[in-house]
Structure formats: C-alpha cells, structure tokens
Amino acid sequence: MKKVFFVAVLFSIFNFHFSLAHAEGNTIDAGSEIIGHVTDAHSWHLFDYVSDGETHSVAIPLPVILINDGHLDIFMSSKFEHGHASYKGYSLVGGGSEKEEIVYTDANGVVSSPVDLSITKTSAAIMISVILLIIIVMIAKRGYKKRPNQAPKGLQSLVEMLVVFVRDDIVRPMIGEAKYQKYLSYLLTLFFFIFFSNILGLIPIFPAGGNISGNIAVTATLAVITFLITNISGNRHYWTDIFNTPGVPAWLKIFPLMPVVELMGVFTKPIVLMIRLFANMTAGHIVILGFIFLIFILSNLFGNVVGSGVTVLSIIFSVFISLLECLVAYLQAFVFTMLTSLYIGMAVEEPHHAEAH
C-alpha cells in the first residue's frame, strides 16, 4: 500500500504540473504534447506556470555542441529561450509532434543543418542513470567488504538477488557452463542498465523522467552491440549452419533460398530486439500521458465539474498503468538479456551439443 500511495503522490504532482500549464481554459493539443514528452529535447523541461495570463516554462538548460562548416560552437540551450530566440544564427525548430532540431541561417538567409553533438535530455538521462547505477553497485560492494561471509542485507540483498538470477536463470542455461563467464559481465551490465533506466523513466520528477529506452537510438545501440558480440563470437559451426543449413534439401541450398533466409535472420534478430524494447516502453508512457491529458480535454469540452470527476478516474488508471509498467520494465530487461544470451549461446554452441539438442 505504501508503494501504491507513493506512486499516487507522484502522479498527483505530475497532474499538478499540467494543471498549472493549462489552466484558465487554455486549449491543449494532446497529441503534440504527448509526443513532445516522449521524444528527445535540448533542455530538460521541469514544469510550467502561468503568470499574467501567459504560460512560462522552467527547464534545465543542456550544453549545445555544434559543428558548422568546420567551426565548433558550444553554448547552453537557454540561449534559445525555449525556441523563441536565435543565437549566432542558430535556431531551435520543431518540438511537439515534430522532431526538435537546430538549424543555422547565414547572412544570405540560406538554412542548413549543422552537425549536432549536443548533450540532449536522453544523453543526460543516460549519464544520470549510469552514475546512480554505479553508486548502487559500489554500495553493494562496500557491504561485502564490511560484512564478509555474512548474509547480505538492504540494497546489497537486492543487487545480489538480481545478479544471481541473471547468472543462474538466464546466462548459464542459454550459453552453457563452459563459456558463460566470458559474457556474464556484459549481460549483467545490459540487464541492470535496461531495468534501471526503465524504472527511472517512470518517475516524473528530476533527475528521473528521461525516456531512455523509448529512444530508438539507444535501443539500436544496444542491439548493435549484441549483434557484434554474437557474430564475432560465432564459431565455425555457427557460420556453417547459416550457409549450409543441415536437414534442408540440396536444391534449396543451391538456389540458394535457405542461406539467404538464414543470413537475413542474422540481421533481423537485433532489429527485433531494438523495436521490442523501444515500442513497449514508449507505448506505456503514451498510455499514461493519454489518461492525464483526458482530464484537460474533457474539462475544456464539458467544464471543470466533469474534469474534476474524470481526474479521480484518470489518476486511478494512471497509477494502475504505472504499476503495470514497473512489471514491463523488468520484463523488457529480462527478455532483452535472455534473447541476447540465446543468440550468443547459438553462436558459440559446439557441434555435438547442437546435435544432442
């Protein structure tokens, strides 16, 4: 019950944030607002407030790093004043339902796109997630040093439980007793990073709230790493089965239909990993935000009385979806790690093990 109450308080604060931004009967573009909150940005938006009939945003500026015609420009995103101002010819365009990007306009009015190496919200969220995760692991490590050969307790118990689970129930069965230790460090890092990032993304208060796994570039990077490790580790048996699939008629090999299908599978496996994680985490955020924006949509259409009644239902459903998302956050980390272990296990599997299987 305490956990449910805590989540309810978080969403009450989240609802208050939107009520301040869209008070006094202002119209609201729910689709644009939702997409804007699940996509990347050059500043970390905290909340809005209304003063003198105008909505003002409070955000943490992030470093903007641009390479334009061989020239390096570094400044803070606050120079753009939330997209209302230009700086040194650079302008922040897009946002909402459109991708936010920086463009450069020269003295002749020619618009171009510089190379953008900025630390965006997703980049900052990754740094925060990694730092917090390192702190958690170091706390658990210190517990082992202070209490050697004793039962773990507190945060140490949680970390050990997850490490043992990943090692004994995912990595070891999928890769095999002889070779699993070589890949254990990467797979533990993969599981903890995805799980911890997913959980942080569900908390709508800074320094959490970054939709890390909902960024296709992040999931694509994780999938590419898995792809490289899998195929670099692949033994002769693995590549022979791809180009000379056993149990397949000879004419399919000569054609060569099956080798093409098997080779396509090498590339589609990481693509599936990438899309599954991205789609599941993004969908959860969109559903939660949809329930919240329903309050303001119905308030504008039918008045504050109806909006107040919908608020109760909206918060209840938001809390329910949030708790469901906590489970999804774990399941997605589990599935990504399990499938990665499976792909690596298939790549390093010895011929006699494959025949027995």
Token pair listed for 183: 């890949």
Residues 189, 203 within the same domain: yes
Handedness of CA 127, 132, 137, 141 (dihedral sign): positive
pLDDT of residue 252: 63
What are the residue ranges in the chain where pLDDT is below 70?
Answer: 1-32, 53, 55, 95-97, 245-256, 303, 305-307, 352-357
Please give the pLDDT value at position 192: 94
Q: Give the whole-angstrom CA distance, residue 296 versus residue 292.
A: 8
Does residue 75 sit in the same domain as residue 177? no
Contact of 341 with 29, CB cutoff 8 Å: no
Instruction: State the residue range of the domain holding 349.
Output: 121-356
Where does residue 56 fall: left (phi above 0), alpha (psi -120 to 50 degrees), or beta otherwise?
beta
Q: Are 240 and 277 found together in one domain?
A: yes
The verdict on 105 and 232 lying in the same domain is: no
Q: Residue 126's pLDDT is what?
A: 93
Instruction: List, in order, residues 6 or more apart from 73 with CB less than 8 Å away.
Output: 64, 65, 66, 67, 88, 90, 114
Q: Tell me: do 157 and 248 sit in the same domain.
A: yes
Do 94 and 215 belong to one domain? no
pTM (predicted TM-score): 0.82
pLDDT tens digits, one per residue of 1-38 = 455 445 544 544 454 444 444 444 455 666 667 777 77
Number of domains composing the chain: 2
Which class for 34: exposed (0-12), middle (13-18), buried (19 or more C-beta within 10 A)?
Answer: buried
Q: What is the pLDDT of residue 130?
A: 93
